[in-house]
Amino acid sequence: MLAAVEADRLVAIDGMAGVGKTCLAVHAAHRLTDACPDAQLYLDLHGFTEGREPVDPDMALRTLLAALDVPSERIPQTGGIEPLAACWRAELASRRAVVVLDNAAGAEQVRHLLPGAGRSVALITSRNRLLGLDEVPPVSLDVLSPEESAELLARASGEAGRPEGRLAREPEHAAEVLRLCGHLPLALRLAAARLRHRPGWTVGILVERMAEGPSEFDTAFAMSVRQLDRAQRRFFRLLGLLPGSSFDEHVAAAVAGVPLRDARTMLEDLLDAHLVQQPAAGRYRLHDLVRAHARRATAGQESPDERDRAVRRVLDYYVHAAAAAEAAMPYLSRSRAPMAGEPPAALPSFTHKHQALFWFVTEYTNLMTVFDTAVATGADAHACELPRYMRAFFARRCGTTHLNVLFERALDAARRLDDPLQLAEAHSDLGFARYNAGRMAEAHAAYDAAEPLVERTGDTWTRAELAMRRAFLLWDEGDVQEPLSLFCEAAKLYDSLGSRMGRAHATANEAWALLQLGYRDAAATRARAVLDLPGSEPDWPSTLTARITLGMAIVRDDPDEATGHLTRALDAAREDSHRHNEAWCLNCLGVALRQLGRYDEALASHRQAFALLDELFEEHWKVHFLNGYGETCRLAGLPDEALALHRQALRLAPEVGYRYEEALAHEGIAAVLAETDPPAAARHRAAGQALLQTT
């Protein structure tokens, strides 16, 4: 701030109520006394004082001129504001003065109070950004850091440097005081004063008193709100109902039920009034104390029905926005409009999958809060649909644990709705979440519950999706025949719906299964059919599966084409930000390089895959890759590492019910022990064959 004064002799300090604007300005004015020895003036303009009108510029100028001891006969009495302002500037031109103009309502109130030519300095404070004063550099204040807040509380309460004091004895309550004060200096000083003058209080008692209800800050914020027009005040109140810590203009428009353009304009107005903050471009937030004031104002001035409608508009918005975001991501989704709620007037534009992924990442905590709100308020259709539109995001970012919890609660909501289609999809979705978490028996139970409901509804898409999911589950359990027929069934069902992506998805997975069974030519033929499909997109899930399958199927016949397909698949997974798929591609590339005798490169690829899996904290996913990694180690002359990897697979596979990988683990151990311990190798080989024969 002093640097701004040095450069321009003027500075405007803005910030919310209680953030310390006046304190800073007065402190700086004292620091400037030596440079401004002729006069040090302070004037409260009462721009936000309860029960008082702001001081008009005419009265302000007369007060300032009187403070300079200007004789009354030299002060213009007629002619309006301009002669007064000229007189003020003339008086300051020959002086070195510092003037604090505190609590300005806006630019017009202070425009004529600024010094003209000369060396005098003016420090202005306001809760609003004084956008109309282009010549005045702004300094915006934010709240204190937690460390600064704790220091101020300790100093102001007389507890600084007292290791046995109340704050030191009750650190959790002290932290709660900081939270309740919102790290605002004025709030901290008021709380500290209570503690200082009540030696019998504990910090816990202070917390109880502070949490009882409205405080001095409601009066302060009410004055900031009072300057707004009626529409702006309603808009501000309803923002207090928004979930999460930050929001964008779209959800702000939704909660208030206003056009996006109006919401954008009013957000800028509230930003200038320091009633909202802007932590990043396009994102807004309310300080905790401001949010509490807005919510209390909403409770007092909006009917329960209007508050309910505002909350329901937020739920509608997030379900429809999530659906739009998922539609922009490569994922085999139903691609139908949400049935929950009404479409909002405006949604974000998702022209690329990375925009959609960024939106999900940014809004994640809000989406979780919205889901909880939907459950708590009985908005069952929203609770059913919201997790369904987040599957593509969860596949890339959040793993399986949280998705399982969401689908459990979504199933409860579907039961309350008693809609057969919603219930069928909820059982199927929960089953797939269970499968991805390695909870195979529970996945079977969910699919079994979905089956009759799917038949009852006659919904072809849900039936095809369930067939695909059953095939994945049965394959991992060691069934090598029924999954093939289920993939074929799903392909026909998708084809009957005219879904090229669905048919490609089923055919690509059929090709992968054929490859695992050793039918390389058939696998390659089906994989090429997927890649040759007209309109096939490079980021379709089926394209990735087909490239991996084709690369591994032809690696011995055409190494260059094979590694080309595998490398392109890996590039696509990385570009898609899908780390599970990236790990899959790296592991398959390692297997292919091993078959080409390029062991060092193969081992490096496997190790990259496992480094990714370690980051994901999902141990059960490793079971898909351990045996391939172990085989590479064996052929690369690392039998001890190979044995450890196969044994890890043998331990994990039964835990999650992956009989196929369990059988491969036995085969891998047998291969490692074939020369050093033939009897043990024979036992493992027999155990592996028995596992496949009993499915």
Q: Two tokens at 291? A: 């949010």
519-541: per-residue pLDDT in tens?
Answer: 999 999 999 999 998 766 777 88
Task: State residue 105's pLDDT score.
Answer: 87
Task: State residue 514's pLDDT score.
Answer: 92
Q: How far apart are the first and last CA of the chain?
A: 76
| pLDDT of 338 strictly over 70 | yes
User: Quick one: 58 and 83 in the same domain?
Assistant: yes
User: Quick one: 52 and 102 in the same domain?
Assistant: yes
Q: Which of 140, 174, 195 is the last residue of a domain?
A: 140
Look at residue 461 and tell me if it is in a domain: no
Look at residue 193 and tell me if it is in a domain: yes
| pLDDT of 50 strictly over 90 | no
Which among 206, 191, 205, 208 is positioned nearest to 154, based on CA atoms? 191
| pLDDT of 223 strictly over 70 | no
Look at residue 579 and tell me if it is in a domain: no
Beta partners for residue 98, in sequence order: 40, 121
Task: State residue 336's pLDDT score.
Answer: 66
| pLDDT of 245 strictly over 80 | no
Residue pair 344/253 in contact by the 8 Å Cβ criterion: yes
Residue pair 274/16 in contact by the 8 Å Cβ criterion: yes
Stretch 184-206: mean pLDDT, rounded? Answer: 82
Stretch 608-623: mean pLDDT, rounded? Answer: 80
- Looking at the chain, the whole-number percentage of residues with pLDDT higher than 70 is 94
Q: Which of 95, 114, 140 is the last residue of a domain?
A: 140
Residue 197 confidence class, pLDDT cut points 50, 70, 90 = confident
Task: State residue 49's pLDDT score.
Answer: 66
Range of weakest confidence among 215-224, 540-549, 661-670:
215-224
User: Quick one: 128 and 22 in the same domain?
Assistant: yes
Residue pair 102/22 in contact by the 8 Å Cβ criterion: yes
Task: State residue 443's pLDDT score.
Answer: 94
Residue pair 466/454 in contact by the 8 Å Cβ criterion: yes
User: Quick one: 50 and 129 in the same domain?
Assistant: yes
Task: State residue 269's pLDDT score.
Answer: 87
| pLDDT of 209 strictly over 60 | yes
Stretch 681-693: mean pLDDT, rounded? Answer: 89
Stretch 458-471: mean pLDDT, rounded? Answer: 93
Q: Two tokens at 253? A: 């428009």
Range of weakest confidence among 177-181, 448-452, 453-457, 586-590:
177-181
Look at residue 463 and tell me if it is in a domain: no
Residue 553 confidence class, pLDDT cut points 50, 70, 90 = very high
Look at residue 251 and tell me if it is in a domain: no
User: How high does pLDDT run on average in the chain?
Assistant: 88
Residue 561 confidence class, pLDDT cut points 50, 70, 90 = very high
Stretch 354-383: mean pLDDT, rounded? Answer: 90
User: Quick one: 156 and 45 in the same domain?
Assistant: no
Q: What is the DSSP string of 425-450?
A: HHHHHHHHHHHHTT-HHHHHHHHHHH
Helix or strand (DSSP H, E) at 508: helix 500-516
User: Quick one: 24 and 72 in the same domain?
Assistant: yes
Neighbour tally for 614: CB within 10 Å: 12
Q: Domain limits at 181?
A: 146-217
Stretch 275-290: mean pLDDT, rounded? Answer: 80
Look at residue 623 and tell me if it is in a domain: no
The CATH number given to whatever domain includes residue 43 is 3.40.50.300
300-310: per-residue pLDDT in tens?
Answer: 899 999 999 99
User: Quick one: 51 and 166 in the same domain?
Assistant: no
Neighbour tally for 1: CB within 10 Å: 17
Residue, of 63 and 389, whose pLDDT is higher: 389
Look at residue 649 and tell me if it is in a domain: no
Task: State residue 165's pLDDT score.
Answer: 87
Look at residue 66 and tell me if it is in a domain: yes
Task: State residue 517's pLDDT score.
Answer: 85
CA angle 73, 74, 76 (to 5 degrees): 95
How far is the C-alpha of 500 from the C-alpha of 535, rounded, in Å? 9
Stretch 668-679: mean pLDDT, rounded? Answer: 93
Q: Which of 191, 217, 243 is the last residue of a domain?
A: 217
Q: How many domains does the chain have?
A: 2
User: Quick one: 87 and 21 in the same domain?
Assistant: yes
User: Quick one: 133 and 203 in the same domain?
Assistant: no
User: Quick one: 163 and 126 in the same domain?
Assistant: no
Neighbour tally for 163: CB within 10 Å: 7
Stretch 670-676: mean pLDDT, rounded? Answer: 93
How far is the C-alpha of 174 from the C-alpha of 176, rounded, in Å? 5
User: Quick one: 86 and 208 in the same domain?
Assistant: no
